[in-house]
A and B are shown apart, each in its own frame.
Chain A
Amino acid sequence: GQSLEQPSEVTAVEGAIVQINCTYQTSGFYGLSWYQQHDGGAPTFLSYNALDGLEETGRFSSFLSRSDSYGYLLLQELQMKDSASYFCAGLDSNYQLIWGAGTKLIIKP
């Protein structure tokens, strides 16, 4: 079956850099997306990697290596408002998203 693994929780300090990893087990994904969800809120789209390499959007960057079945989300200059859950999601052969269980990012002042 298809699955995506990510750490359940990551803790970092305000102003620091944090990396949230995502590994997947599948015969092949067409791309990897990242979403942010604050407690009680709806998921919101952050980034999509169709090709291997790094995509940068402001303080957030996302990386994909399809040969390693691995990706990560990098958050720089952490702010308290970045405290949220982060989900990786892979686009499968039916063009449907398969979601990881999410990583809760805790930021300490």
Chain B
Amino acid sequence: IAGITQAPTSQILAAGRRMTLRCTQDMRHNAMYWYRQDLGLGLRLIHYSNTAGTTGKGEVPDGYSVSRANTDDFPLTLASAVPSQTSVYFCASSDGLSHSPLHFGNGTRLTVT
């Protein structure tokens, strides 16, 4: 079944540790996104990529980095996790047209202790 796969599903991480959240899509979508979702704040864009080889900063990029080496994969890295990065992280993709809907993965629930 075509879609977006995120891994891990959940993770408990000690503060200061490095962590990479994985995201893979098989829809050949050009654009990919990372959001975090916190209670009462909706979804906030962390980083995005309009096409392979390019990335851009979203609303809350600090403490996160991304890469887009190919069309399918868009990993999100926390270089040194802090408790404020405790959140649910969603990866999404779209075909890149302005009105195209986003397709979301099932999310990664990250707890930083």
Contact = CB atoms under 8 A, between A and B. Distances in A.
Nearest to B41: A101
A102 B105 CA distance: 19
Instruction: Specify the main secondary structure of chain B where it touches its partner.
Output: loop
A60 interface: no
A99 B98 contact: no
Interface stretch (B21-29, B43-51, B60-68, B73-81): B43-51
Given A42-B107, A43-B90, A96 B45 contact: yes
B27 to A, nearest CB: 13
B106 interface: yes
A108 B109 CA distance: 29
A95 B44 CA distance: 14
Contacts of B102: 35, 43, 45, 97
Given A96-B58, A101-B40, A101-B41, A42 B98 contact: no
Interface of B: 40-45, 48, 58-59, 90, 98-99, 101-107
9 contacts: A31-B98, A48-B99, A87-B42, A87-B43, A97-B45, A99-B44, A100-B42, A101-B41, A102-B42
